[in-house]
Structures are given as C-alpha cells and as structure tokens.
Amino acid sequence: MPSYIHHITTSVPENYYDQQFVREFMKKHVASDRMTSMILHRLYTQSGIGKRHSVLKEFHSDDVSAGSTFRDASTGALRSPGTGERNALYTKEARKLFVDAAQNIFIQRPDIRKEEVTHVITVSCTGFYAPGPDLDVVNSLGLSPTTQRLHIGFMGCYAALPALRMAKSITEADDKATVLIVAAELCTLHLKFESDTDSLLSSTVFADGCAAALVSAKAPQHHNGALRLDGLYTTVTPNGAEDMAWTIGDHGFDMVLSSYIPDIIESNLDGVLTPIWAQAGVQPDDIDIWAVHPGGRAIVDKVQANLDLDDRQLASSRKTLHDYGNMSSATVLFVLRDVMENLENKTTDNTDHSPAHTTDKKVLAMAFGPGLTVETGLMSYINSEVELVNDQHLNTVATLL
C-alpha cells in the first residue's frame, strides 16, 4: 500500500529583510576591518538569496529608543541576549507558525477533513518548550485528545525527511491513518554579531519559516495530484562529521558550518546515490526533478555540476533559496511544495483545463545535516486520474488471476 504527500502548506513571519540590506547592516555592525567587510560583501552578494523572513523586526531602524531582544532597552545598541531569552521568543513566535501552517492545510484543501488526522509529527531544532508544538497543533485544530503525537528535535536541516519516513511507515501499517507533519524553524534567533567564519556563514543564509505536509495511504482524488513516497533513504558520509554541528551555548545555539561542506557533499554524491539506484531500480536519467535542500548556493551548484543537471531540474531549489533562504528542516518541504505546484499547473495546462493523463514525474528530494548526514526521498508525482487508471488495471489483473 503506497503512501502519498497530498498537500504542503507554508507559513513565514510577515517581517523580512532584503539580502542587500542585511549585507550592509552586517558590514556596519560586524566588520571591524577591511578584510571582514570584503568577505561579508562577497558572501552576501554571491548567496543566491533575495530576501529572508525573520521574527526579529528590530534591525530595520537604528532608532536608539527601540528596545527589543537584540537591542538594549535604554540605548538601542545591539546586544547578545542569553539562550533563555532567545528561547522565550521562540516559544511565542514558533507556536504561531506551527498552528498557521497546520490550519492552512485544511483551508486550502477543504476536501480533506481534520477528523481524518490520526498522528501529528512536529519537527524543529531551533528551540524547545513543553507542552510542545505537537499539542498546540492538536488543540488548535480541535483534534481528538487521543491523537498520537511525536516530535523530532535537534536533527538539523534534514529532519523533515525522517518525519516523512515515519509517516510512510505509519500509513503503510494502517491504511486508515493520516499523518500531519509540521516543521518550523526560527534560525535567526541564534544570530551572533561576531566575525568568526561560522558566524559569518550562518548569518548569510539562515532564515525563519514553517511548512506542513499531509500524508496518507489514500490515492489522490478530485483531480488533485500527490507525491507518492517510493523510498526514503539515509546515509552518513565517511568525512565531514566536524564540519556541521549544532550545540547549545550561553548566547543562543552555536553553529559549526564549514565552508568545505559543498565540497564534502560533492565528493560523496556517488557513494550516496549508487545504492539508491540499485535498491529502487532506477537510473539518474530517470529523475525529472531534484528537490535539493538549498543549504547555500554553492551546495546546489555542486550537485548540479556533479550530476550534469539542467537548470529546470533544480528550479524549485534555487527559487526557494532566493525567496526564503535556508530555513533548516522546513526548507526541503518548501522546495517540494513548489515542485507540486509546478507539476499541478502543467497537468491543467491545456485547452479544456482538464487534468492530463500522463503525469508520472520522478522526484528525488535530498537534504543534508550534522553527521554529515544525507537524507534522500524518491517520489513520483501522481495525478488522480493516472492513479485511478492504474488501480483499475490492477483490479482487472487480480480478477483474471
């Protein structure tokens, strides 16, 4: 019994910063010498990011009367708040995003009833609170108090794919189960005004955002497309364990983010992908779309060059990076949402606006995180009428047998 991602929604803070604005802001407040200023200018200019959303609003103005998390209440000067203060803001703001993204699933897809949800999986690595976001989602949607809840914490940028693997296992074991996944990250809460390489790199790419996905074993209906979860895989590269890490410090979470990560990913791609081709019985040329987590522009560039992909195959990854930046675990779901929307538009791109009958696109999702861990997901975009035809064919075969 296959499992499907039926719908993905996203939610971001209303506040955002243009990348050019952040570049000049960081040069003004962090760069104490010409070399650091030049490094910052290059990092931001070459990032591939246009804007990033953030719950932090205080950097739009240098008004000294502005008191906030990162500004002194009396002078307006920049300050480095403690971890407790940052986490308190996470508790307040993340809750809003978790609930908003979850509710949007059922607003955008009225054909799906909230009462169908049997499991809620929440994902986050940028803050903690209990009772947690899993219970917030259950309460906000009015779900049954017996709804099974799970939380995946502190795994990093790849964590949405283990959540999908868990949802796949649940729905394959019980075809009546419906799993709601919600991943929210407030990465900008851990901003540091320091000039070390890790701080400079993380300040360049990280942003805030949330995504929700609904997974069940029901075949897509009502002319809606879905992503069938064909296989989810994980591996740890033999090198890179010390190049990406995430620990709790006294002034926020401390990120280790080596500039060598794109090269490490590139050098390990063949070792990561070859077993997948063997297990799934597909070849690289069979993949139509690569939903690569855009941890940074260089990562997408390396994947594209190594696998000789065209721009179209990575368009959703680059668009997500440009429009939102790196939102850790939520990012790959943003990419998959864009993939689904593009494919849905193509299936109705004809004169009578009826769904096309030949939509079976192969999608490979890929995300990276501490370990260095590489998570991949092989998926097929299925249109409801295609799936219906396949089901009818299988029923006919079963009758003949």
pLDDT digits (tens, 9 = 90+) for 138-150: 999 999 999 999 9
- pTM of the full predicted structure? 0.93
CA-nearest of 389, 36, 352 to 193 is 36
State how many domains the chain has: 2
Domain's final residue, options 168, 195, 216: 216
Q: For residue 401, give the amino acid letter.
A: L
Least confident of 193-207, 301-315, 386-400: 386-400
Whether residue 192 sits in one domain with residue 158: yes
Q: Reading across the β-sheet that carries 178-186, which strands appear in turn? A: 148-153, 119-124, 178-186, 208-216, 4-11, 226-236, 373-382, 360-369, 289-292
Whether residue 177 sits in one domain with residue 290: no
* Rounded Cα distance, 291 and 164, in Å: 14
Structural domain of 31:
4-216
3-state SS, residue 214 = strand
Q: Could you tell me which residues are beta bridge partners of residue 252?
A: 249
* Residue 180 preceded by cis peptide, ω within 30: no
Whether residue 69 sits in one domain with residue 91: yes
Whether residue 267 sits in one domain with residue 211: no
Whether residue 284 sits in one domain with residue 210: no
Q: Is the pLDDT of residue 223 over 80?
A: no
Q: Is the pLDDT of residue 62 over 70?
A: no
Q: Is the pLDDT of residue 33 over 80?
A: yes
Tell me the per-residue pLDDT of 267-284, one tens digit each, with 9 for 90 and over. Answer: 999 999 999 999 999 999
* Rounded Cα distance, 276 and 267, in Å: 17
Tell me the per-residue pLDDT of 319-358, one tens digit each, with 9 for 90 and over. Answer: 999 999 999 999 999 999 999 999 988 765 554 444 444 3
Which DSSP string do the residues of 354-379 spell out, in sequence order? PPPS--EEEEEEEEEETTTEEEEEEE
Whether residue 177 sits in one domain with residue 65: yes
pLDDT > 90: percent of the chain: 78
Tell me the per-residue pLDDT of 104-119, one tens digit each, with 9 for 90 and over. Answer: 999 999 999 999 999 9
Domain's final residue, options 184, 216, 248: 216
**Average pLDDT taken over every residue of the chain:** 91
Whether residue 18 sits in one domain with residue 97: yes
